[in-house]
Amino acid sequence: MDSPSVEKIHTMDKEGNEITSVGFERFGFDSAVQLDVLRSLYLRPHYVTTIHSSLNSPKLNGGSSKREQEEEEHEHARFIQGFGLYQSKSIYHPDDHSISYTTLSRFPPVKLLAPDKRKRILVTGGAGFVGSHLVDRLMLLGHDVTVLDNFFTGSKTTVSHWVGHPNFEMVRHDVVEPFMIECDQIYHLACPASPPHYQYNPVKTVKTSFMGTLNMLGLAKRTKARFLISSTSEVYGDPEVHPQTEDYWGHVNPIGPRACYDEGKRVAETLTYGFQSQDGVDVRVARIFNTFGPRMNPFDGRVVSNFIIQALKGEDMTVFGDGKQTRSFQYIHDLIDGLIALMNSNETRPVNIGNGDEFTIGEFAELVRDVVEKVQEEDGCKPARKVEIIYGPIPKDDPQRRRPDTTRAKETLGWQPRWTVRMGVEEMVRYYKAKMAEGSI
Ligand code: NAD
Ligand code: UDP
């Protein structure tokens, strides 16, 4: 197994400086953590190993042979190289087609905060891609975190490494139903984000956006918690203004296939500002542009995961349309920095959070192919055949251009993206590659 090691990865920021930590101190809230600690939680947090049970010691009767134990220890030693101690594992026994799970025996150290600094934070959608990274950060920073999720697109495994920690709680709950908890801050993220997922049940997507946001705003009103909603660049639709500033009202087809999400988020913003003006709720609105990173569901149909998985498997990469439509891709850690800065700032207007590096989808396919080849070459497993980029039909209402104007975030939050798209893609390639090597993709 060619597992990557943390030591091998050197990540440079846009200025060419090495990134060793993410986050920063803003508005009295320190969000900085070491990148290696975060990586130990997402690059290889859990692994699956296959062990053949010996006939004399059936595992289901509680025993395991010395040989099995040695094999397990050997596999573990190979796995954790450079990743510290914070992994769990599953052992697959093909002989009787069973699997045993272990949870973490140790948690990474979290900050010890004074009571007035320690917040009780609710993260709806906390088991999803963005939510789980936010949870890692808030946990490491020493806060009390509750995840509320119905696991529609998220998975318990994204945050299972915190289960059992005294600062952590996970609740299965659908936000379209009211929920009560005492808290200081609410990050309201619950909503499917990939087009195939949100179009799977459009009525439910609208309900989640409207009723879910209504319920969480009601909770913020009762508890006086500060409320942040993860809105989206989709509120700008297929934009006629480029790049998009927060003052642009958008160009959205209200009855097209993307409307359940786009209009859902627009009305969620309307509700948010309604609660602000009517009830004095303390609100923040983040308009997030395309974000990618490890833990993205490899099969959720979004372009970054599709391209990387296709290239790693040696399959053709499927560009929709002529590939001239553009997107601007941001790496997950920049987004988390931006969300935390916004939550703790005094900025109540909508704020774009995204990376201004704009690519045509055709160019982006080439970049992904390039990075996958580089990683395969470094790991000594470059395939003989070069992956092809092929072109197919474009989905209805696919926006033609998208790039954030992030002047407001820079001026009011002191935030700007640090990760280059290439560096982010490289980390994500290593993540998916490791998952494929262990057989879980
Ligand atoms: P995701 O699908 O990985 O995560 C969404 C999470 O919400 C999942 O865990 C899902 O199970 C949960 N959820 C969905 N409906 C729910 C409901 N009714 N009740 C409770 N939980 C529910 O998506 P993501 O990429 O992590 O997106 C998170 C948020 O960020 C979403 O609000 C999305 O609109 C927003 N956003 C994301 C991006 C991006 O590029 N990732 C861009 C713009 C906006
Ligand atoms: N896309 C593509 N191939 C894929 C998946 C997506 O060419 O396998 C295109 C899609 O048509 C869109 C862009 O990539 O133009 C981004 O799509 P995604 O679903 O990631 O997010 P969107 O920004 O459209 O919500």
- The C-alpha angle with vertex 146 and arms to 142 and 151, in degrees rounded to 5, equals 130
Q: Is the pLDDT of residue 372 over 70?
A: yes
- Pick the closest to residue 304 from 125, 441, 429, 133 (CA basis): 429
Q: Is the pLDDT of residue 108 over 90?
A: no
Residues with Cβ within 8 Å of residue 15, at least 6 apart in sequence? none
Burial of 372 (0-12, 13-18, 19+ CB in 10 A): buried
For ligand 2, is residue 391 a contact (CB within 6 Å)? no
CA atoms within 13 A on the CB side of 122: 28
Q: Is the pLDDT of residue 150 over 50?
A: yes
Q: Cβ(108)–Cβ(40) under 8 Å?
A: yes
pLDDT (0 to 100) of residue 5: 44
pLDDT (0 to 100) of residue 56: 44
pLDDT (0 to 100) of residue 3: 39
Q: Cβ(265)–Cβ(231) under 8 Å?
A: yes
Protein residue with its CA nearest to atom 17 in ligand 2: 303
At 251 the three-state DSSP class reads: strand
For ligand 1, is residue 37 a contact (CB within 6 Å)? no
Beta-sheet pairing, 326-328 with 358-360: antiparallel
For the stretch 37-70, pLDDT in tens is 898 888 876 667 777 765 444 444 445 677 777 7
* Mean pLDDT in residue range 114-135: 97
At 244 the three-state DSSP class reads: strand
Query: Where along the chain do its domains lie?
Result: 110-293+331-356+402-410
* Mean pLDDT in residue range 263-283: 98
Active site residue 236: no
pLDDT (0 to 100) of residue 29: 92
Measured distance CA(101)–CA(48) in Å, rounded: 9
pLDDT band of residue 199 (cuts 50, 70, 90) is very high
For ligand 2, is residue 288 a contact (CB within 6 Å)? no
For the stretch 381-409, pLDDT in tens is 888 889 999 999 999 999 999 999 999 99
pLDDT band of residue 253 (cuts 50, 70, 90) is very high
User: How far is C-alpha 47 from the geometric centre of its chain's CA atoms?
Assistant: 19
Q: Cβ(30)–Cβ(23) under 8 Å?
A: yes
Q: What are the helix and strand counts (H, E) for the chain?
A: 12, 20
Q: Is the pLDDT of residue 193 over 70?
A: yes
Sequential DSSP letters for 341-391: HHHHSS--SEEEE----EEEHHHHHHHHHHHHHHHHHHTT---SSPPPEEE
Protein residue with its CA nearest to atom 16 in ligand 2: 303
pLDDT (0 to 100) of residue 223: 98
Strand partners, 360: 326
pLDDT (0 to 100) of residue 36: 87
**Distance linking the first and last C-alpha atoms of the chain:** 15
CA atoms within 13 A on the CB side of 41: 24
Measured distance CA(177)–CA(165) in Å, rounded: 27
The helix, strand and coil proportions of the chain, stated in percent and rounded to the nearest 5, come to 40, 20, 45
For the stretch 287-328, pLDDT in tens is 999 999 999 999 989 999 999 999 999 999 999 999 999 999
Q: Is the pLDDT of residue 81 over 60?
A: no
pLDDT (0 to 100) of residue 54: 55
Peptide bond just before 45 cis, omega within 30 deg? no
pLDDT (0 to 100) of residue 58: 46
pLDDT (0 to 100) of residue 438: 75
At 28 the three-state DSSP class reads: coil
pLDDT (0 to 100) of residue 67: 75
pLDDT (0 to 100) of residue 85: 62
Measured distance CA(261)–CA(259) in Å, rounded: 5
* Mean pLDDT in residue range 27-40: 91
Structure tokens at 395: 């989905």
Sequential DSSP letters for 68-122: HHHHHHHHHHHHHTTSTT--EEEEEETTTTEEEE---S-PPP-----TTT--EEE
- Pick the closest to residue 277 from 348, 343, 345, 206 (CA basis): 348
Query: For residue 209, which ligand has an atom nearest its CA?
Result: 1
pLDDT (0 to 100) of residue 75: 67
Q: What percent of the chain has pLDDT over 70?
A: 90
Higher pLDDT, 367 or 59: 367
Residues with Cβ within 8 Å of residue 115, at least 6 apart in sequence? none
| Catalytic position from the list 47, 261, 331, 432 | 261
For ligand 2, is residue 397 a contact (CB within 6 Å)? no
For ligand 1, is residue 323 a contact (CB within 6 Å)? no
**How far is the centre of ligand 1, averaged over its atoms, from the C-alpha of 191 (Å)?**
4
Q: Cβ(148)–Cβ(173) under 8 Å?
A: yes
Q: Cβ(215)–Cβ(237) under 8 Å?
A: no
The residue type found at 292 is F
Candidate from 51-60, 87-96, 224-233 with smallest mean pLDDT: 51-60
Neighbours of 346 (CB within 10 A): 8
What topology does CATH give the domain 110-293+331-356+402-410? Rossmann fold (3.40.50)
**How far is the centre of ligand 2, averaged over its atoms, from the C-alpha of 70 (Å)?**
46
